[in-house]
Amino acid sequence: MPKRARITSIVLALILIFNAQSLSAEYLVFPVLKPIYPQFQYVNNQLWGYLRQGLNYLESPKPDSPPEKVPPSYIHPDARGFGAYGLSPEAYADVQRLYPFFKEHLWQNILESGQLYELANQAFADWLLKNLQDYLPSGATEKQIFDVIQQAWNLGLSGFKNGNLVVASRMSRAEEFKAGW
């Protein structure tokens, strides 16, 4: 059968199906699909694109390379952080507690999957940003958000809120990143 005839047959079949009286919408059942990945309220994909570059610049052993060049299983010199962004098991425990998607993924799964590692870091940034709204001006720019997030990322949420200070060399590197982006 020629291609045009097949397309015409398919279109006619679809018209017949959708015009059939027995297939009214009240009898059709559509499964409710839950999102495959978690939905982030504060750190959307565009903002995460900026934050991930900055966090990579500050945390990664290869700051001039894309974050994907550092495996999630890379152990930082402090033996607390892992991968390009220095995510810690304690930070991931917060992510698991707050984002149902991650409850079924063990820490080891995060270290073995670049995609899960990336999502877990975005979730952690989302949680931090949610809790840091009072430290940002209304309508904050990406650079202003990065400035606050990177400090809380380094100090922990309570350390940041308690007024602890990030070391000067890190603040200097953060300024370099913001100036060059």
Instruction: Specify the pTM.
Output: 0.78
How does pLDDT run across 14-38, given as a tens digit for each residue? 443 444 444 433 333 434 334 456 6
Terminal CA-to-CA distance of the chain, rounded, Å?
Answer: 57
Percent of the chain with pLDDT over 90: 77
Kindly report the number of other CB atoms within 10 A of residue 54's CB atom. Answer: 24
Specify the residue for token string 């650079």: 143
Mean pLDDT, the chain, rounded, equals 85
Give the pLDDT score at 181: 63
Mean pLDDT of the 82-95 span: 97
Q: What single letter denotes the amino acid at residue 92?
A: Y
Domain locations in the chain? 45-180
The whole-number pLDDT of residue 39 equals 81
What sections of 67-135 are H helices per DSSP?
Answer: 89-98, 107-112, 114-131
